[in-house]
Amino acid sequence: MTDSDLPWDPPAAGTETQHLVAALERLRATFRWKTDGLDPAGLQTRLGASTLTLGGLLKHLAAVEDYTFTTQLSGKPMGGPWESNGWDGSNDWEFASAAADRPEELYALWDGAAARSRARLDAAVAHGGLDQLVQASFPDGRHASLRRVVCDLIEEYGRHTGHADLIRESVDGRTGEDPPPEWRPPAPPE
């Protein structure tokens, strides 16, 4: 799908689906690189009055991945780790509870959710493309398209990758728009 050796590099000229998926993958890779390899102190670092941490962002985006490509896509409950990790469905639980999680738990949670989402999105695109309506709906009963939920997830990652940029720079000075060419995301969980 890409024109380079970098797995997160979007194609120079592809289809709409290829570009949207590649934009999401680029943000996922950049986010994961910004949060990669930190100890508990690094994952719990805060800036100023903000309560955001990289650990909280990992857990939050893991929940958003599963919610988007399980509940919004098919109407099914999130299942998996969310039924057993204490998730209460509130908007702040992921951010608050991440401080009690070990780094390897947070990384595995996000890596697993991203892998599940990739598989679910690939299957949905193969089944009906971006125009298909999904279970996510508005108060007036209109259903969103798969395109809409993918665009919403891109927006969510854009916002939180910006937060991760600032927090990570304060932890150890890591800066940059994209991961360096030699960096590779961790292997997906089996």
For residues 68, 90, 156, 14, the Cα torsion angle rounded to the nearest 10 degrees is -10
Q: What tens digit of pLDDT does each residue of 24-60 get? A: 999 999 999 999 999 999 999 999 999 999 999 999 9
Q: Which amino acid, residue 110?
A: W
Kindly report the average pLDDT of the chain as a whole number: 92
Average pLDDT over residues 118-143: 96
For the chain, which domains are there? 16-172 (1.20.120.450)
pLDDT given for residue 189 in this prediction:
63
- Count Cβ atoms within 10 A of the Cβ of residue 149 and give its class: 0-12 exposed, 13-18 middle, 19 or more buried: buried
